[in-house]
Structure 1
Amino acid sequence: MNRTILSSVAALALGLSLAGTASAAEPVSLKGDVQVEKTLTENGATKTVLAPPTTVVPGDRLLFTTRYSNDGDKPVDNFVVTNPLPAPVRLAAEDSGFEVSVDGGKSFGKLAQLTVADAAGTRRAAQLEDVTHIRWTLAHLAPRAAGALEYHAVVR
């Protein structure tokens, strides 16, 4: 099971470089990364460090990062970055900086506004474990501007 989770997480990290909507007229580059958060205690002090996800187990907390840069000489407006969540993880918390999808990326909104059908077909409020995709809209990227988008997930 751990190998499957790790493979899915590694595949997503590689695939993040393909996320978003870019064209020859919009020279925005994306690079994805995933790290596992480890809690260490040294001399009575507790700190969280990030490490490569060589082995992950259910309950591990992961940090997914998508770095972006406008490599062109013109600004880019309303650039959309969409990241699918790998099936072996669930979103750790909703953030006000992004929208989510619970229907495979067909529609997006704030989690509190979304519903899903249960096994009996009854609609219920969407939960963190229902999220399939995360989407950010970057309103304006100046030439040579760069930044990073992040979200936390937990291994199921």
Structure 2
Amino acid sequence: MPNLRMILIEAAMIAGVLTTGLSVSQTAHASSLSVAVQAAATDPRTDIKIDSRIMVERTTESQSGEMVTTLLDPSTVKVIPGDTLLFINTYRNTGENTVTGFVVNNPVHSAVALVEVLEEWAVLSVDGGKNFGKLSELSVTEDNSVVAGEEEITEQTSRPAKASDVTHIRWIFASPIAPGASGDLRFRGIVK
């Protein structure tokens, strides 16, 4: 797979939000979003541009008693533990050629617990991006300490992975991306 274009997107701004109480947009100015591209300059896959943004989801009760969820620009609110964030990676083919073999890798920041990925075709990793699959196919190995008499023994156990165990999300585009085509790759997480 040496010809695959891998784009790594990291929302490092979340840590600053939690430790300083800054809004996401203020933190975004302080720490830039890092995007690393691995492809030759003549590769049409370099024509895919990605813009990333984060929205804060807040649910309130309307005057009629209905629960209403709104997306808020992070520059207008403080992000606090327990907030739901919607991560949106918008891609667009700005070139003149159809792009094939396109892959996007998105680490999930350690300050965020994944809730869901909105594209069913995404695959997930719970081991730092080494292995990917559907959540139902993944497991997590944990060290458990057991006291036997006066001795403490550490045992490793395995359990099915949960969304909150996810460390990376990968979208592998099965279909070509036509010139001018665009779309969104989205996931939700809760601030720890």
TM superposition score normalised by structure 2: 0.70
In structure 1, how many angstroms separate the alpha carbons of the residues matched to 2:163 and 2:92?
Answer: 29
Alignment match, 1:126: 161
In structure 1, how many angstroms separate the alpha carbons of the residues matched to 2:21 and 2:178?
Answer: 36
Alignment match, 1:37: 57
Pick closer, same or farther for the CA change 1:115–1:28 going to 2, 3 Å.
same
Contiguous gaps of at least 5 residues in structure 2: 1-14, 144-154
Alignment match, 1:48: 69
CA deviations 1:3-28 (Å, max 9, x no partner) are: 33867x656x9536x26755531211
Q: Does 1:15 align with 2:33?
A: yes
In structure 2, how many angstroms separate the alpha carbons of the residues matched to 1:3 and 1:111?
Answer: 27
Pick closer, same or farther for the CA change 1:72–1:124 going to 2, 3 Å.
same
Q: Which letter does structure 1 place at the counterpart of 2:182?
A: A
Aligned residues: 153
Q: Does 1:153 align with 2:175?
A: no
3-state DSSP class of the match of 2:173?
A: strand
Show structure 1 runs of 4+ deviating over 3 A. Answer: 19-23
Pick closer, same or farther for the CA change 1:101–1:5 going to 2, 3 Å.
farther
In structure 1, how many angstroms separate the alpha carbons of the residues matched to 2:104 and 2:37?
Answer: 4
- Given that 2:117 and 2:186 are in contact with CA atoms closer than 8 Å, whether structure 1 keeps it comes out as no
Q: Does 1:88 align with 2:111?
A: yes
Alignment match, 1:138: 173
Q: Which letter does structure 2 place at the counterpart of 1:123?
A: S
In structure 2, how many angstroms separate the alpha carbons of the residues matched to 1:80 and 1:124?
Answer: 29
TM superposition score normalised by structure 1: 0.85
Percent identity of paired positions between Structure 1 and Structure 2:
39
Pick closer, same or farther for the CA change 1:20–1:141 going to 2, 3 Å.
farther
Alignment match, 2:12: none
